[in-house]
Structure 1
Amino acid sequence: MESLKNHCLSMVFLVICSAALSLALPQVQRHQFVIQETPVKRLCKTQSSITVNGMLPGPTLEVRNGDTLEIEVVNKVRYNATIHWHGVRQMRTGWADGPEFVTQCPIRPGGSYTYRFTIQGQEGTLWWHAHSSWLRATVYGVIIIRPREGEAYPFPKPMRETAIVLGEWWNANPIDVVREATRTGSAPNNSDAYTINGQPGDLYKCSSQDTTIVPIDAGETNLLRVINAALNQPLFFTVANHNLTVVGADASYVKPFTTSVIMLDPGQTTDVLIKGDQPPARYYMAARAYQSAKNAPFDNTTTTAILEYKSAPCPAKKGINGPKPIMPPLPAYKDTNTVTAFSQSFRSLRKAEVPTDIDENLFFTVGLGLNNCPPNFPSSRCQGPNGTRFTASMNNVSFVLPQNFSLLQAHQQGIPGVFTTDFPGTPPLQFDYTGNVSQSLYQPITGTKLYKLKYGSRVQIVLQDTSINMPSSLQLHRSTTTFSGGCHHKQQAHLTTLTSCFLLPHDVSLPETVSSYHVHTLRPNQCNSAVVQAMEAPVDTVWSLVRRFDNPQAYKHFLKSCHVIVGDGNVGSLREVQVVSGLPAGSSTERLEILDDERHVLSFSVVGGDHRLRNYRSVTTLHASPNGKGTVAVESFVVDVPPGNTREDTCIFVDTIVRCNLQSLAQLAQNMAKTQNSFSP
């Protein structure tokens, strides 16, 4: 045993010297969000609004790619609440995503909940918001994700960075607005104003004093992080006399292009560079609606902020007439040509592989239907067209949220009666989606219906708007789903599958139930690999060693000690391991992602500590060898390629450690099996 340990240590030291992995360490940030009522004055009126920490917008989270966020949310209001981290890829932390009754039950009044997740492979701008009813009208804030320490933007470093958060404001309690719409079956009342960073701006009454000011100086190039936090309204955004160079969207870099106006659907973010290349003055930033639906009422007002040059003449003061900001032209409300030209300008910064072999081909029609008025409802509750009630649907199904268990909890715990899995993958009836639609198709069915996807499957989704009642533009929000990837040595569509990317011994084949766990999403600048180890020991014996999340040092001789710091050894637990001296790490904080005693699967990810490998994720599976007497262990991993290193260097480095661990596991398990056999009758 000792000779094996020394041999492996020697191998690792050689690899370390050749790879020269030098990394800045990711951080664990801890925050507290208190959801509370706060008096807020807008449009000449003070009202009690729901905020986080008394701020509107709420606190900005500034992190680096690879950092972990731990946020305790305390609910001190009379409504249920959750927080959704919009656009964050929840890599095996789906329970931290936040949609009420989808991934979690709501935080009840007086309760609290701690979200913990890691930013992995994303840089740019995202945002967070409440995901319970219409609380997000005022409960929202910015997430700024900068490159890792020592890495740079793929564009010239800006002199300043400013978040521009577009929102909506009601002179009423937004919860009451949506409840009234639900009661009457009609559309919700339009907002009374749009806002920039919580302020309506000069064009609204009682608002000039607090108009948002964005500083710039002649010759500067600054970064604006623009977010549409409005509930329902796509918005145009422009700056008078200035061009905008788009460099990112939704925490992904794009090939830069220049435009005078951008359009954002609700929930979208766009990063733009703006140059101080105009005469020093004050210029309006302005946003107003893009409305593609015909005959639909909308808020047609305009919100403004002011881009102010440092050397600009002083603004008007009491009794003094100063220069007014320059107002930009804005597209017409229904200017679809401008929107189309803008949308078609987006290009990936790097080549994106698209899967050609599709496992699931889905076709979803989306529309705003009408339900007939129930016989027991008075006319006051059926104020949609011709005495009906509005209801949205996909494939003629109007989704109903569960009331007692979240969908994720019901799935994980096998709770019956919460949802069904019969959501149709195609429309139940094909028709002319954009022509005159029979009113018999206006009324959808209701249900909590889901469509099951096999883990690792390649999915194509076609979205088709319909002219049922009111055709309009659509936006798809993919929560916690990612579509980037590749494969170590060989490029494979968007997902990497162990069996198609790595050569296994000729006598080893993976059961489908095992191979599915080794499907990894691979982002640019990552590598992945796998190690296979045969052992002359029963699966149960080997599993008794592997499953001990609290005792990895039993066979991982590069680890000196281990302490579980959060949890009791079940999924979600955190351990802190100390590494033997001489290796390129001092300690590592690791989270247990999967522990499946039935299928013999364990997965963990590195989330912190003094380690040199970022975004490391590992999956270990065990299955019986072909003769039924031994065990085949497979450990696959994904990890970032450090700056200055190649994928080959990185994979050789990690491969060596994993291989030594599995060799040690085999020797220990085989010795245990021999001991057990010697005591057998």
Structure 2
Amino acid sequence: MHSKLSIDAMMLLFACIVLLLPEYSYADTRNYQFDIRLQNVTRLCHTKSMLTVNGQFPGPPIFARDGDSVIVKVVNHAANNVSIHWHGIRQLQTAWADGPAYITQCPIQTNQSYVYKFNIVGQRGTLLWHAHISWLRATIHGPIIILPKLGVPYPFSQPYQEIPILLGEWFNADTEAVISQALQTGAGPNISDAYTINGFPGPLYNCSKDTFKLKVKPGTTYLLRMINVALNDELFFSIANHTLTVVEVDANYVKPFTTDIILITPGQTANVLLTTKPNVPNTSFLMAASPYNTGQGAFDNTTTAGILEYQAASYNNNNNTLPLLRPTLPGLNDTSFVANFTRKLRSLASVQYPANVPQTVDKKFYFTVGLGTSPCPKNQTCQGPNGTKFAASVNNVSFVLPTTAILQAYFFKQSKGVYTTDFPDNPPFPFNYTGTPPNNTFVDNSTKVEVLPFNTAVEIVLQDTSIQGVESHPLHLHGYNFFIVGQGFGNYNPYTDPAKFNLVDPVERNTAGVPSGGWVAIRFRADNPGEYVL
């Protein structure tokens, strides 16, 4: 068991109150159909029934170009309610298509369908889609590959081939039962049994069923479209005896830099160039991923692997000696590597791809993020600290999912009893956030939102807390990209830390990790009306 709760357990809503955006014309319309069904899949000597899309695990890719319209009809043949989130798509004027259940839509019920339609505006790169209700995203997920407009080249050398690499988790259990038990008992959910590369745990696990293999030519450049679709864990990734050049993150170009290892958190993407070695035929190397975790619980410290296979190289998956070079990955809690890696990420900030970071802000927020507790209901035994329940919170508010979709309630002016607009801008109970925790760790369980006027320039400082032990918290903002203008360790100092903000070429993302025992500052402009979750 561990104490790290799902990203979905920590939600904050942004509602803009002006509905006005310019019209766009789109180059083409891409049509897809997603059929969600139960399917038997075998991994780690274990066969289980799990939800898949179109019979694929991971699910099918969506291909589009910047400027296209995308239409996806989702048909639910499963017993579970389902919704799909298009993670990183800005959803300009299409908030109804964002996907979070009970936020922008009612979930799709059994034998029902829902048509998502959205436009891709000014985006290109790699994103992802996944289920956005409970823990169904553990198996319902896939890549979104957005190409530049026709005739617009990459700002780097054209690769010979482009390959999606999805890093995920495998549970020898029903993930819905895992999260249901955690919510009932108030303990942390059971950890996964393995990590995966494109759905396969790889040869480092006992009796793993098959291994992902990437066959390459010597002296050739490949674009690896990296996606972390794991439920909870940030992951290190490396290929033995090879280097990677990072050129894009979260579908935003960055100043290229070369590294042996990358870090990618749940919901993040990274496009990296891999140039294979010349004159190295008939050779194979391990590519591997392992977790970065800083919490106090017992985390899975296993490693998933795939094979980088040069021309005509052969590999016997039953060979237990594994005569392959294995990459050296950072330790489980190597926060120093994480900090150094994230500091290297800078926006390309060119004339064609400027970094339009707000230079001044209209609204500042200071949000504390971490684990608190809730009282155990009567006649129930809870397994959290001192018989309580774990409760993830932002500014001491633990989000309660409503039974009416918030966007629907707002649109039809029926918000009373669904949500309130008094989310605290600052921590309601100040304390030494990364020092000794307060005696009272109880949180406010409620459905509260922030309301932002249209076009507000926003700054949010996200502060980790030590209430149940410091740990890194990946957070994703729906409907927006944001600029990471600063980060540091300890408590954020509003008087001295802003002087060190990067307002020239900060990296632009849609998902960021709040540093373990530290803080991160982001800025964005609230120019996209709708209801959006953080």
Is 1:423 paired with 2:423?
A: yes
1:586 corresponding residue in structure 2: none
Distance 1:25 1:373, change over 3 A: closer
1:211-226 aligned at under 5 Å gives the runs 211-226=211-226
SS in 2 for 1:475: strand
2:374 to 360, 371, 379: 371
Aligned partners of 2:317, 2:119: CA distance in 1, in Å? 48
- Correspondence for 1:54: 55
Residue deviations 1:125-164 (CA, integer Å, cap 9, x gap): 0000000100000000000111111111110000011111
Aligned to 1:180, the other structure's residue is in SS state helix
- Do residues 286 (structure 1) and 285 (structure 2) align? no
Q: Summarize the Cα distance change of 1:322–1:308 in structure 2 as closer, same or farther, 3 Å threshold.
A: farther
Number of the residue aligned with 2:78: 77
Letter in 2 for 1:343: T
**How many angstroms apart in 1 are the aligned matches of 2:320 and 2:453?**
67
Q: Is the 8 A contact 1:217 1:311 kept in 2?
A: no
Residue 27 (structure 1) shift: 1.4
Q: CA deviation at 1:474?
A: 2.1
Residue equivalent to 2:132: 131
| Residues 315, 322 of structure 1: 8 Å contact kept | no
Which string of whole-angstrom CA distances, capped at 9 and with x for unpartnered residues, describes residues 259-298 of structure 1? 00001111000110011116331011100100122x2221
Shift of 1:113: 0.1
| Matched residue, 2:467 | 468
Please, what TM-score do these two structures have when normalized by structure 2? 0.83
Matched residue, 1:122: 123
Q: Aligned to 1:232, what secondary structure does the other structure show?
A: coil
Question: Aligned with 1:408: secondary structure?
Answer: helix
CA 1:393–1:163: 2 relative to 1, 3 Å:
same
Match of 2:361 among 335, 358, 372: 358
**Whole-Å separation in 1 of the counterparts to 2:310 and 2:368:** 48
Structure 1: segments with no counterpart, 5+ residues: 1-23, 485-491, 495-518, 523-592, 595-681
Report what 1:497 is aligned to.
none
Q: Quote the residue 2:384 is aligned against.
A: 384
User: Is the CA contact (8 Å cut-off) linking 2:69 and 2:119 kept in structure 1?
Assistant: yes
**Residue in structure 2 matched with residue 227 of structure 1 by the alignment:** 227
> Is 2:187–2:383's contact at 8 Å kept on the other side of the alignment?
yes
Deviation for aligned residue 1:399: 0.6
Secondary structure of the residue aligned to 1:452 is strand
Residue 25 of structure 1 and its aligned partner are, at CA, apart by: 7.3
CA distance in 1, matches of 2:315, 2:202: 15
> What is the CA–CA distance in structure 2 between the aligned matches of 1:26 and 1:430, rounded to whole Å?
51
Matches within 5 A, 1:487-498: none
For 2:43 and 2:526, the matched residues in 1 are separated by 48
**Deviation at 1:315?**
2.2
The 8 Å contact of residues 458 and 526 in structure 2, kept in 1 or not, is answered as no
User: Which secondary structure does the structure 2 equivalent of 1:181 belong to?
Assistant: helix
1:198 aligns with 2:199: yes
Q: Within 5 Å, give how 1:189-588 maps onto structure 2.
A: 189-207=190-208, 210-277=210-277, 279-280=280-281, 281-293=283-295, 295-312=296-313, 314-316=314-316, 324-350=323-349, 351-374=354-377, 376-379=378-381, 382-403=382-403, 405-415=404-414, 416-440=416-440, 442-483=441-482
Q: Which residue type is aligned with residue 429 of structure 1?
A: F
1:315, 1:324 within 8 Å by CA — same for their partners in 2? no
Whether the 8 Å CA contact 1:26–1:67 is kept in 2: the answer is yes
Q: Distance in 2 between matches of 1:366 and 1:308?
A: 43
Compare the two structures and name the one with the higher helix fraction: 1
By how many angstroms is 1:406 displaced? 0.5
- CA spacing shift, 1:255–1:27, aligned 2, 3 Å: same
Residues 547-599 of structure 1 show CA distances to partners (whole Å, capped at 9, x for unaligned) of xxxxxxxxxxxxxxxxxxxxxxxxxxxxxxxxxxxxxxxxxxxxxx99xxxxx
- Tell me, yes or no, if structure 1 residue 146 matches structure 2 residue 181: no
Cα contact 1:282–1:324 (8 A) shared by 2: no
The CA distance in 1 between the partners of 2:224 and 2:445, in whole Å, is: 42
Query: Which residue is 1:502 aligned to?
Result: none
Q: Distance in 1 between matches of 2:430 and 2:321?
A: 62
Secondary structure at the residue paired with 2:355? coil
* C-alpha contact 1:58 1:141 (8 A) present in aligned 2: yes
Once superposed, which parts of structure 1, at least 4 consecutive aligned residues long, lie more than 4 Å away?
Answer: 320-323, 519-522
Residues 105/283 of structure 1: CA separation in 2 closer, same or farther (3 Å cut): same
Q: Distance in 1 between matches of 2:202 and 2:420?
A: 48
The 1:428/1:111 distance shift into structure 2, 3 A limit, reads same
Instruction: Mark the structure with the bigger radius of gyration.
Output: 1
SS at match of 1:347: coil
Contact preservation (8 Å) 1:355, 1:493: no
Q: Taking structure 1 as reference, are residues 334 and 26 closer, same or farther at Cα in structure 2, changes over 3 Å only?
A: same
Whichever residue aligns with residue 323 of structure 2, its letter is K
Once the two structures are superposed, residues 171-228 of structure 1 have per-residue CA deviations (whole angstroms, 9 ceiling, x without a partner) of 0000000001011110000000001101110011222x52001111111010101110
1:302-337 Cα distance to aligned partner (Å, 9 max, x none): 10110110143x32388x999733211111111111
- Inter-partner Cα distance in structure 1 for 2:178 and 2:254: 38
Question: Does the C-alpha gap of structure 1 residues 221 and 32 become closer, same or farther in structure 2, counting only changes over 3 Å?
Answer: same
In structure 2, C-alpha distance between the alignment counterparts of 1:99 and 1:133, rounded to whole Å: 10
For 2:21, the equivalent position in structure 1 comes to none
String of CA shifts for 1:222-244, please: whole Å, max 9, x gaps. Answer: 01011100000000000000000
Task: From the superposition, tell whether residues 170 and 364 of structure 1 become closer, same or farther in structure 2 (CA, over 3 Å).
Answer: same
* Aligned residues between the structures: 461
Q: Helix, strand or coil: the match of 2:476?
A: coil
SS for the counterpart of 2:231 is coil
Using structure 1 for the length normalisation, give the TM-score: 0.65
Cα shift readout 1:487-527 (whole Å, capped 9, x = no counterpart): xxxxx999xxxxxxxxxxxxxxxxxxxxxxxx9969xxxxx
